[in-house]
Each structure stands twice: as structure tokens, then as C-alpha cells.
Amino acid sequence: MKQKMLKSIDSYMPELRALSDDIFDHPEIGFEEVYASKLLCEYLEKAGFKVERGTGGLPTAFRAEYEYGTGGPVVGFLGEYDALAGLGHGCGHHLQTPAAIGAAMAFRDNYKDSPYKLVIYGTPAEENKGGKINMVEAGCFTELDMVFSNHTGTHTGGSGTNVALASSVVEWTGINAHAGGSPEKGRSALDAMMLAFHGLECMREHTKTGSRIHYTVMEGTGAANIVHPKAKAWVTMRATDKTYLEDMVRRMIKIMEGSALMTETEVKVTRNPVFYDTVVNKPLCDASEENARLLGFDDVQHLTEADLHVCGGGATDFGNVSYVCPGILVRAEYSKGVKGHSPEHVALGKTEKATSFIRECAAVMAAVTYDFVTDESFRQAVKDEFKFRLREKGVEV
């Protein structure tokens, strides 16, 4: 059956590559993926899926469904299609939804022995705003018994956790004055921002291993000979879990408030949605590895329990979905020796690496879907693991 599904994927590859190449040639940043969303929705409708546009209140999101029988397991596939501002598709997002579509269609075409439902979610803005976060808040994904995401990588198979990430825009308001003639009448927003940055550097020493603090000036504050009335910064923090991250954010806000207190300025902290760490699922990771080897793919990596908890430093809004239902981010070898978010990564976008990525990710996801739909004990193991990992994180289940 798994070889039959792989043959189905091979038959679809010209269409799937045409989709990915078209998305690659029309890069759109988060929440502006009008072309890609329309392209994918039209393809799915022609392929026999029931398509809903604007899912979760996001104009460029969608939900496509195929159901065989009633009452069977519900398997989800997530696809991203946003590009990087000023760079294009330097993270492989143009490949993800074609791979998800290939997996769903291969399973649908070959398996008719018991009921099931396949749901493909188009999820915008992973790179900048975290569209999946909005979708979780809107109630999406709750119907899924398990969910796949997929991403380019240096190996084929499953993947471990990701860090949690929180970013905030900080704005200080002071009082304008001439820096030479009447400095005593002014209150400097720039001074407040510089004090805040120093405070973050002092905080950096007293955070857990694996935590990160980044900041930048968002807007220039003016000429050197004035007391600066406005300053604006972007602060990003990362941690190995969202609980500790919230404590880091609490401390960061105190630093911002302290900087305003010291300079007699006003400060406003606007928080962006939080990207959660990923809830790992060992049975799903093991099944992905086993199926990748079964199908004869190269560069398959075995992930131990310890490997699953090693954070690479990157964040993804798939983490938020992983708190809703059991999930796995499947990878296929694509960018070994190439940095992500780089021109070199963009250069891979329409090569044979793209073909092999779509083919391998689709085949692994289809094979694991077969295991999940047909093996009740495997489904239960995935469910039990999900509950166990949530309890580890202090989440009531």
C-alpha cells in the first residue's frame, strides 16, 4: 500500500512541481499571499476537495476537506506559502502545501477500507505574524485527531521541539527641547531606550540556558542637537518553553517601565502573539523515521528522546497547533550545508531538490497517515503521548 501511494505521488509530481514553482515565482509576504492562496484553493477544488476560504477570519487562509465514510479518524495537513520580505522563498514555504496535497491525494486514491477524513489547512504568515496563532484562537484544528506540518531540513524523518518566541514593540514618548539651549526642559525618549537596552543586557546574564534576547531600533529619533521626544524599538525573546518565556517577558516589561521612570518619559509596550514551543510526539517521530527507511529514502536521521528536546533556536507557529492536537513536523533533506533565510536557500527553490523534497515529505506523511488510520493501537499511543507531554509542561488534560 505504501509503495502504491508513492507511485501515486510520482504521478502527481508534475502538477505539484508546477504549483510550487508558481508560488516561488510570485513571492508574497505574510497575510498578503493572495496569489498563492487562490492558486492552491482552485487546484484543491478541481481535485475534489471541499474548500473553505478565509478560514479563521484570515483572508489568505483556507481549509480543504475530503471525507470517506463517516466517523473515522481525522488527519490534518498544514501548508505555508509566505515568503521572506526582500528575499523571496528562502525557507522553502513554496513546497509545503504541494507536499501536503500530494500526501492527502495519494492516501485518498489508494485507501478505501475504513472511514476517515483528510483536512488540509492553508496557514499564512508563519514568518512574520504567526497566522496559525490567529487560527488557533478562532477554534481551528480542534477537530483533528493528529496533524502534520512539513519543512525543509538537513535530514528526512521527524523533528524535535522548537523554542517559544515573544516579540513586542516598545514606544517611548518624551518632551522635545533644544539640546544646547534648554536641555533641562526636555525629557529624552532616546535616553530611555538606551537605558532599556542596557537593562536587557544585564538581564541576559540571568536567564536559563537556551534563552535569547534580541532588540533593534525601529525608527530614527532625529538630529543630534535635540532632546528626542520619540523612540521606538522591537524586542524579541526566546525560551525553551512558553512558561519560562512569559516570565522573561514580565521582567522585560519591568525594564521598559524602569527606563521611563528614570527619564520621566512615558512608555507603551505592545505585545505580538506568542509562538509556543512544540509539543513533541515520539510515536509519530518514530513512525516517520521507520516509513522513510521503508520507502528507501536517504539521509534518514534517528531521533532519540534527548534529540527531541534539543531546540535549534528557531520558532514556528506550528508550536501553537501542537498544544491543540497531536502533531509532527516532518522534514526531508533539502538544504544540507545551506543556511536558511539566505540567497543560497532561494537558489534551491526550483531545482531537483524541490522535487525530491515534495516527493519524500508527501510519501512519509501518506505512510504515517496509513498507520494512523488503520492501527488503533498506534492511534492510542499517539494520543497517550500527547497527554503525557502536555502534563510534563504543566497543562491540564
pLDDT of res. 168: 98
- List the 266-271 sheet strands across, edge first: 212-217, 230-239, 164-173, 266-271
Residue span(s) of the chain under CATH 3.40.630.10 come to: 2-162+277-392
Q: Which of 287, 285, 289 is nearest to 300 (CA)?
A: 289
CA distances (Å), 207 to each of 126, 166, 169, 215, 249, in order?
27, 15, 21, 16, 12
**Rounded to two decimals, what is the model's pTM?**
0.94
CA R_g for the chain: 23
pLDDT above 90: residue 309: no
The CA–CA distances, whole Å, from 88 to 92, 265, 340, 347, 349 equal 10, 40, 12, 10, 10
- For 309, the 3-state DSSP assignment is coil
Whether the Cβ atoms of residue 268 and residue 170 lie closer than 8 Å to each other: yes
Task: Give yes or no for residue 312 having a pLDDT over 90.
Answer: no
Three-state SS for 347? Answer: coil
pLDDT for res 360: 98
CATH number of 164-271: 3.30.70.360
- pLDDT score at 267: 98
d(CA 207, CA 249): 12
pLDDT 10s digits, 77-131: 999 999 999 999 999 999 999 999 999 999 999 999 999 999 999 999 999 899 9
Distance, in Å, from the CA atom of 256 to the CA atom of 234, rounded to the nearest integer, reads: 12
Q: Could you say which architecture CATH assigns to the domain 2-162+277-392?
A: 3-Layer(aba) Sandwich (3.40)
Q: Indicate if the pLDDT at residue 260 is higher than 90.
A: yes
Where does the chain hold its CATH 3.30.70.360 domain(s)?
A: 164-271
Sheet of 74-79: strands edge to edge? Answer: 50-53, 62-68, 116-122, 74-79, 146-153, 327-333
Q: Tell whether the torsion through CA atoms of 246, 251, 253 and 254 is positive or negative.
A: positive
Supply the pLDDT for residue 294. Answer: 97
pLDDT at site 314: 87
pLDDT one-digit tens code per residue, 203-243: 999 999 999 999 999 999 999 999 999 999 999 999 999 99
In angstroms, how far is the first alpha carbon of the chain from the final one? 35
